[in-house]
Amino acid sequence: MDLVESYREDLRFARKPLTWLLLGALLAALLALPGYADSSWLVRASVICLYAIGIMGQNILIGYTGQISFGQAGFLAIGAYSFAHLKTLGVPFLLALAGAGIAAGIAGVLVGFPSLRLKGPYLAIATLGFGVAVYQIFANWELLSGGRSGLPVPKLQPAFGLSREVYVYYIYLGLLLVSTVVTYNLISSYVGRAFVAIRDSDIAAEVMGVNLTRYKLLAFAISSFYTGVHGGLFAQFLGHLEPQTFNIAESLTLFVAVIVGGLASVEGSILGAMFVILVPTFFSASRWLVPVLYGLTILVVLVFQPLGLAGLWIKTRLYLQLWPFR
């Protein structure tokens, strides 16, 4: 008998061919966004795109591999400052972005080595210590970061007769689409299945032939690469870097996005990015409410909706498809 063994399997029946039509309509709407949205919303959409890339990387580590990390701000800083220095040297945008990802990926491997035998809160504390250490290095080593006064970053120049906001939006959207396709293929491959096996039971995974050291380090490297690209895009977007930007609050923001958007969900990473960017926007007059809303939302998600906003969307779509037979 083919039994449903997990919450996610229960939701697989919501996947219909209509999904592709909806995705096509969504992509068309995103491509047409500059035609009906003002510049402020284009800027927000660009920020959502760059955050979604970093959150996908965080989700690979936390959601798919089960390795909790609170040190993403450190990888973000490494990617951002690597990008800034490469751009200052005249390196083209995409190569500088790749360099930022590689620098953060190498740092991820270095952090992963001493963390191989750590799990749960111990791993979280270890990665948190890394993030704090990176912040202190950039804050006090002026040769790397310009010190507390910051470091200027050459901005991306528009092309094809587009305004800077529109050009940046299309570049960031394109990078998000590429990251989404790559991530879907990654989690569907043997590597992705090895990550999930480690998350579910590392002992059982090792018995089945999964090399724990190799795949845990690979998860750290891939996750950190995504975060480094996020950092590079963030640096280009800001145009000026200060160490204070990459504090523990940034790590917590990425963690909130993963939990609220949906663990082990690519689309959840995008929804999580929308959540952490739009909530502060809508509550800009009462900024003190934002952390409160983050905390309450995490509690609600963990108790009532374990797959986050992505799971809620799938259940809503299933409900509408089955109407009126509910």
Residue 103 falls within a domain, yes or no? yes
Residue 253 falls within a domain, yes or no? no
For 305, the token pair is 């909706």
pLDDT of 141:
87
Residue 160 falls within a domain, yes or no? yes
How many folded domains does the chain comprise?
Answer: 1
Q: Which runs of E-coded beta strand occur in the chain? A: 151-152, 240-241
d(CA 194, CA 187): 9
Best-predicted range by mean pLDDT (184-188, 198-202, 227-231, 265-269): 227-231
pLDDT of 8:
56
Residue 94 falls within a domain, yes or no? yes
Could you tell me the CA-to-CA distances from 188 to 52, 58, 121 in Å, in that order?
A: 19, 17, 28
Residue 117 falls within a domain, yes or no? yes
Helix, coil or strand: residue 241: strand
- Residue, of 286 and 166, whose pLDDT is higher: 166
Residue 121 falls within a domain, yes or no? yes
- Contacts by 208-217, CB closer than 8 A, 24 or more apart: 212/116, 213/116, 215/65, 215/191, 216/65, 216/67, 216/112, 216/116, 217/109, 217/112, 217/113, 217/116
Angle between helices 164-188 and 18-31 (to 10 degrees): 150
Residue 97 reports pLDDT greater than 70: yes
Tell me the average pLDDT across 73-81.
Answer: 96
Residue 304 falls within a domain, yes or no? no
Report cis status (omega within 30 of 0) of the bond before 34.
no
Tell me the average pLDDT across 94-118.
Answer: 93
Residue 49 falls within a domain, yes or no? yes
As a whole-number percent, the residues of the chain with pLDDT over 70 amount to 91
On whether the CB atoms of residues 254 and 55 are closer than 8 A, the answer is yes
The whole domain housing 173 covers 40-247
pLDDT of 289:
85
Residue 282 reports pLDDT greater than 60: yes
On whether the CB atoms of residues 41 and 164 are closer than 8 A, the answer is no
Tell me the average pLDDT across 299-308.
Answer: 86
Could you tell me the CA-to-CA distances from 233 to 97, 187, 239, 297 in Å, in that order?
A: 7, 24, 10, 28
* pLDDT tens-digit series, residues 182-194: 999 999 999 999 9
Neighbours of 234 (CB within 10 A): 26
* pLDDT tens-digit series, residues 264-275: 899 999 999 999
As a whole-number percent, the residues of the chain with pLDDT over 90 amount to 58
Helix, coil or strand: residue 151: strand
Tell me the average pLDDT across 223-233.
Answer: 97
Helix, coil or strand: residue 152: strand
Tokens 């109407």: give the residue: 323
On whether the CB atoms of residues 139 and 73 are closer than 8 A, the answer is no
pLDDT of 1:
41
pLDDT of 324:
65
* pLDDT tens-digit series, residues 8-41: 555 555 555 666 777 788 889 999 999 888 889 9
Closest CA to 265 of 187, 199, 191: 187
* pLDDT tens-digit series, residues 114-171: 878 888 889 999 999 999 999 999 988 888 888 667 889 988 888 888 888 999 999 9
pTM over 0.85: yes
